[in-house]
Structure 1
Amino acid sequence: MKKFLLTAIAMFISASVFAQESSSSSVVRRRSADDRNASKTTSGVTQRMQSHYADSPVSDSELQWMRVMYRQLDLMKDENAALYYPDEPIDGQENLFRIILGRMANNELGGYEYLDGREMFTDNYKVNMRDVLDRFHILYTDAKGSTERNPRFVIEEADVPASEVLSYYIIERWEFDKRQNRMRTRIEAICPVLHRSGDFGGEAVKYPMFWVKYDELRPYLTTQNIFTNDDNNLASCTYDDFFQLGLYKGDIYKTRNLKNRSLMQLHPDPDELAHAQDSIQKRLDTFEDKLWVPSLEELTARREAAEKAELAAAGTEVAATGAEGESIDNATPAPTVRSARSKRGTKTTSTPKAKPAKVKKAKAPKASSSSAVRSVRNRRR
């Protein structure tokens, strides 16, 4: 009996210990400050924030149509000035290149080799940050705690060539999702381009540096507010809003094609190149309109617009004709055409000959009232 009681007590104690361990494993444990700081980067972007802004990939089975565009953003244009200014940090505000280079130097962001027309965003094509800094002659020092597996660098603000990055290359994906029935434009990657002149001056040479995937860069762009309008100095949007809303302006310099050629190679003539760029942009803007059957209101509006256009064209033509006729009248007066009948009875038109100027005859002096005047009208023949 005593052995049975001891066995029961031991089994009860072991069951309670197992239940306590299982309950402790299922309890949500509050993270300490060290754990929270470990997952938080220096730019204020947490892992949860990165997962929130990560764009889920869309498979080709969900797409009905897709086209890849390569654009060049000139930062000297007013529409793209928000990506360049301020070239020096002011009150914690940095331009786009300083954000990219700072995150890459701190090993928070990865870059990929610039391959002309053959972009590969895989681990085999990731750039070595030390080689990039040496290649473009950017001064740096190794950061404290930097290792071979986790290299980090410190770059002084004066050594960042932000003023030389005068343009960007971006890759756009124009996609039509057949499940959601919507058209969207998604930026795939961004490449900063250095503009450097030689020792003896001359025209600046463009040096594409590296590609950065926009999905990996996007969480850091949401933390920087910028203003895009000189009339409103309030920083009302972020860098991510700037790209997502399409506030930038860039020229298409290439489309993905079988020959892997740029538009300049396909159209050497400048006029043909400009025409091709406009044609491609027009097809992109009007692609979605061709997918839907217009409603009755849209058809009525189109017909009214066409009628107004025809009336306006007719009025312009009449005005031009009237102006031309008036100029002709002022130049040479048109002769009056009179009709006369020939001897055979047919009506002919002839231009009258110019009549000689009339000569005024001197009037004869009036006869005096005393002289007799004989009427010629009543005289018999």
Structure 2
Amino acid sequence: MKKLVLFSFTFALLFSLLPTNEAKAQVLDGIYEKEHVPSRRPVPYSQLREADVMWKKRVWRCIDLRQKMNFHFYYPINRINERMNLTNLLVYGQTHEGVVLYDADENDRFTTILTTSEIEGKFDAGTQERKIVQDDGTEIVKEFYQPINYAEVKQIWLKEEWFFDRQRSKMEVRILGIMPIRFTEDPNTGELQKIRLFWAYYPAVRPILANHEVFNRFNDAKRRTYDDIFFKRFFDSYIVKESNVYEDRRIAEYRDGRMALWEAQKIKKEMFNYEQDLWSY
């Protein structure tokens, strides 16, 4: 009897030491351990004083993620190891890195803080209930978790300020905020809806943007970070709003279609001409 108990105990101990399917393999997925990007810091800005700013203009830009040049913000839709798309990274930053996300109200002022459940509600995700009819005709309510569908985010808005620094005689730009836009169909009418998800205060999220890489289609060994992409303006966009006396109304409120694009180009050209007019050739 004692031998049987000892044999059973030994067998159970050996079985517990065997690897299971649920265990995660701790192997290096590559030929070297990446140390550069995880330890990166944001690209430092030049020192700026209020007295040095002789001109300033606030604009809002739209980055359409369906354009090929902007694919690095859209993909991967699902996380691949440490690689995440921009919206996924911002939501991850809120749940794991203490990033604060703000309600995307019409004023764009970074005032109302959103919780994790409120962010999930913007995506129609999170814990939901569904009625199920059983074989006997009775109905029961079951809870299930609906994950966030990041594929529905098709646009990114930037809130930024352009200014002329007379100390260095240079026109520069500083991004103030990032706002993802979700495209979805109205379940009742079937019409396309554009839902403003949240605002992320850009100076506060720069550290996490600097620690996550973006896919480089030309060289896997030289991948940029999200902070590099924004700092070097490696994206295509168009202006959708500017600061104005009409409570910063959007261009779409007084122009539509092709006329709205022409108005955006007009604002861009005015900013360019201001800098050029400061010099004589």
Q: Same fold (TM over 0.5)?
A: yes
CA distance in 2, matches of 1:135, 1:160: 9
Contact 1:227/1:234 (CA < 8 Å) preserved in 2? Answer: no
Q: CA RMSD in A?
A: 2.7
Deviation, 1:88, is 1.4
**Which aligned pairs between 1:268-347 and structure 2 lie closer than 5 A?**
268=256, 270-294=257-281
**Cα distance change of structure 1 residues 81 and 63 upon mapping to structure 2, 3 Å threshold:** same
Deviation, 1:137, is 2.8
Which residue of 121, 126, 138 maps to 1:139?
A: 126
CA distance in 1, matches of 2:213, 2:96: 21
Which residue of 143, 149, 160 maps to 1:172?
A: 160
CA distance in 1, matches of 2:190, 2:71: 24
Aligned residue in 1 for 2:104: 114
**Which aligned pairs between 1:41-60 and structure 2 lie closer than 5 A?**
49=41, 58-60=48-50
Which residue of 175, 181, 184 maps to 1:193?
A: 181
3-state secondary structure, aligned to 1:103: helix
CA distance in 1, matches of 2:253, 2:91: 32
Deviation, 1:100, is 0.4
Uncovered stretches (5+) of structure 1, i.e. residues with no partner: 1-42, 141-155, 295-381
Contact 1:227/1:235 (CA < 8 Å) preserved in 2? Answer: no
Aligned residue in 2 for 1:252: 239
1:130 aligns with 2:117: yes
Which residue of 91, 101, 106 maps to 1:101?
A: 91
Instruction: Report percent identity of matched pairs.
Output: 23
Which residue of 55, 73, 80 maps to 2:70?
A: 80
Contact 2:122/2:197 (CA < 8 Å) preserved in 1? Answer: no
CA distance in 1, matches of 2:237, 2:122: 27
Structure 2-normalised TM-score?
Answer: 0.71
Deviation, 1:178, is 1.6
Code of the residue aligned with 1:119 in structure 2: it is: D
**1:144-197 Cα shifts (integer Å, max 9, x gaps):** xxxxxxxxxxxx9x8132111111111121111122221111111000111111
**Cα distance change of structure 1 residues 285 and 233 upon mapping to structure 2, 3 Å threshold:** farther
Of the two, which has the highest radius of gyration?
A: 1
| Larger RCO (alpha carbons 8 Å, 6+ apart) | 2
Greater share of residues in helix: 1
CA distance in 1, matches of 2:258, 2:87: 33
**1:33-52 Cα shifts (integer Å, max 9, x gaps):** xxxxxxxxxx9679xx5xx6
3-state secondary structure, aligned to 1:176: strand
Contact 1:53/1:219 (CA < 8 Å) preserved in 2? Answer: no
3-state secondary structure, aligned to 1:242: helix
CA distance in 2, matches of 1:201, 1:247: 38
Contact 2:43/2:231 (CA < 8 Å) preserved in 1? Answer: no
**Cα distance change of structure 1 residues 266 and 198 upon mapping to structure 2, 3 Å threshold:** closer
Aligned residue in 2 for 1:65: 55
Aligned residue in 2 for 1:5: none
Aligned residue in 2 for 1:263: 251
CA distance in 1, matches of 2:234, 2:246: 31
Matched length: 227
Contact 1:45/1:219 (CA < 8 Å) preserved in 2? Answer: no
Contact 1:225/1:235 (CA < 8 Å) preserved in 2? Answer: no
3-state secondary structure, aligned to 2:241: strand
Deviation, 1:207, is 0.6
